[in-house]
């Protein structure tokens, strides 16, 4: 039985994870779930934001289901999420953004952002010089660029996507981003020839504009860490908000599934969070654990849910709290899954 390490975290994390677990329990899948305390609660109990034991549990699992963590106001804080991305070498952050119902989307989006997840501005060394000058060192390696490019093309091929766009800032970062772009085209030629996948490259600022103005331009985007972080929030904004965006952090040996949103402390504990992003992340986990039909049932049921305004969540001015939404979704899964 696959082992799933559950890290609810804090803020709205436990609420949305609770919702995703209820959905998973209602499916015909068997997992061995084990929870780990990570984040502020861990710090209060053990003096560290993630213990060795929690990291070991995550490492020894087949998948990690992660809610959200609040970033404390301390300069020496390193996010356990980043630590897991680095320690487990979760190098590909896959962020699909598609519109579940046109009525609450700003654009008819259906894209997947494949974000390099191990270097770039993340983990950057920041050195304070005199006179309040800070120098930040950003690392871009050929190795990391090549493997995220390979991942994006393979993903596009496996998911029947037609185009991969490389998003970069090579007009300014003329060595690092230029290398990324060059490597991209080196791989693109093979996929154009053998798999009929088209390719192009777009500057990140232009990409942000096109995403809003002409989102059908994009299919799969492959990009560096910070650009992917920013564009995936923009994409979420176009499909109803952060509550609708899932993600998968994939490595060779490990995988972590989390919504794109953060801990939203302003609505935490109020039964107001939209669990869709978390539930869709759980669906990505099901795909990863070779349960594509169960993943399909979740996605189709969610589509069905949002057709009826009575099922809408609070973030899009609907009546449903997290719990009510979850119960209604489970009812639809029970009633409709035979048709999906
Ligand atoms: C995300 C988050 C993280 C990131 C933070 C919490 C470190 O914004 O998953 O997109 O910047 O990657
Ligand atoms: Mn982010």
* Ligand 1 center from residue 229 Cα (angstroms): 7
Query: Which residues have a Cβ under 8 Å from the Cβ of 258 and sit 6 or more positions away?
Result: 65, 66, 67, 68, 81, 247, 249, 278, 281
Q: Is 122 in the active site? A: yes
Across the chain, mean pLDDT equals: 97
Is the pLDDT at 122 greater than 90, yes or no?
yes
Closest ligand relative to 66 C-alpha: 1
Is the pLDDT at 175 greater than 90, yes or no?
yes
| Nearest Cα to Cα of residue 145 among 93, 91, 83, 96 | 91
Q: Is 219 in the active site? A: no
Indicate the domain borders of the chain: 1-90+245-340, 106-238
pLDDT at site 123: 83
- Tokens in use for 124? 């950057």
* Ligand 1 center from residue 37 Cα (angstroms): 19
pLDDT at site 87: 97
Rounded to an integer, the average pLDDT of 154-158 is 97
Ligand 1 atom closest to the CA of 229, numbered from 1: 10
The dotted CATH code for 106-238 is: 3.40.718.10
Residue minimizing CA distance to atom 6 of ligand 1: 262
pLDDT at site 340: 85
Ligand 1 atom closest to the CA of 117, numbered from 1: 12
* Ligand 2 center from residue 260 Cα (angstroms): 6
Q: What digits encode the pLDDT tens for the residues 284-322?
A: 999 999 999 999 999 999 999 999 999 999 999 999 999
* Ligand 2 center from residue 261 Cα (angstroms): 7
- Residue of 155, 229, 314, 315 with catalytic role: 229
Ligand 1 atom closest to the CA of 82, numbered from 1: 7
- Residue of 10, 91, 98, 169 with catalytic role: 169
Q: Is 336 in the active site? A: no
| Superfamily of domain covering 1-90+245-340 | Isopropylmalate Dehydrogenase (3.40.718.10)
Show the ligand 1 pocket: residues with CB < 6 angstroms: 79, 81-82, 229, 260, 262
**3-state SS class at 12:** coil
Ligand 1 atom closest to the CA of 69, numbered from 1: 6
The 3 state secondary structure assigned to 223-256 is ECHHHHHHHHHHHHHHCCCHHHCEEEEECCCCEE
Residue 5 dihedral angles phi and psi, to the nearest 5°: -90, 120
pLDDT at site 254: 98
Q: Is 266 in the active site? A: no
Residue minimizing CA distance to atom 11 of ligand 1: 229
Residue minimizing CA distance to atom 1 of ligand 1: 260
Is the pLDDT at 338 greater than 90, yes or no?
no
Q: How many CA atoms lie within 13 A of 96 on its CB side?
A: 19
Rounded to an integer, the average pLDDT of 110-114 is 98
Domains 1-90+245-340 and 106-238 share a fold: yes
Yes or no: say if 85 and 229 are a contact pair by the CB < 8 Å rule: no
Residue minimizing CA distance to atom 9 of ligand 1: 260
């Amino acid at each position: 039985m696959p082992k799933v390490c559950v890290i609810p975290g804090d803020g709205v994390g436990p609420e949305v994870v609770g919702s995703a677990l209820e959905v998973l329990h209602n499916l015909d899948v068997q997992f061995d779930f084990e929870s780990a305390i990570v984040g502020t609660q861990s710090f209060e109990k053990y003096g560290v934001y993630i213990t060795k034991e929690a990291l070991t549990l995550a490492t020894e699992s087949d998948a990690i289901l992660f809610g959200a963590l609040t970033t404390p106001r301390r300069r020496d804080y390193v996010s356990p999420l980043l630590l897991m991305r680095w320690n487990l070498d979760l190098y590909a952050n896959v962020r699909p953004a598609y519109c579940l119902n046109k009525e609450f989307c700003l654009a008819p989006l259906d894209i997947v952002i494949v974000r390099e997840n191990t270097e770039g501005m993340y983990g950057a060394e920041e050195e304070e010089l005199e006179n309040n000058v800070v120098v930040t060192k950003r690392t871009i390696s050929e190795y990391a660029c090549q493997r995220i490019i390979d991942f994006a093309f393979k993903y596009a091929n496996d998911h029947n996507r037609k185009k991969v766009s490389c998003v970069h800032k090579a007009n300014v970062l003329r060595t690092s981003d230029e290398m990324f772009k060059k490597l991209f085209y080196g791989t693109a030629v093979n996929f154009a020839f053998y798999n009929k996948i088209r390719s192009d490259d777009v500057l990140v600022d232009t990409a942000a504009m096109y995403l809003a103005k002409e989102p059908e331009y994009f299919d799969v985007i492959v990009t560096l860490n910070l650009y992917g972080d920013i564009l995936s929030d923009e994409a979420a904004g176009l499909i109803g908000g952060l509550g609708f965006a899932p993600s998968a952090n994939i490595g060779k040996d490990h995988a972590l599934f989390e919504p794109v949103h953060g801990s939203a402390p302003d609505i935490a504990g109020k039964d107001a969070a939209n669990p869709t992003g978390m539930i869709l992340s759980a669906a990505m986990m099901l795909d990863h654990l070779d349960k594509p039909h169960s993943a399909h049932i979740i996605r189709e049921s969610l589509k069905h849910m949002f057709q009826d305004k009575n099922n809408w969540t609070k973030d899009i001015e609907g009546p449903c709290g997290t719990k009510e939404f979850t119960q209604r979704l489970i009812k639809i899964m029970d009633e409709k899954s035979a048709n999906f």
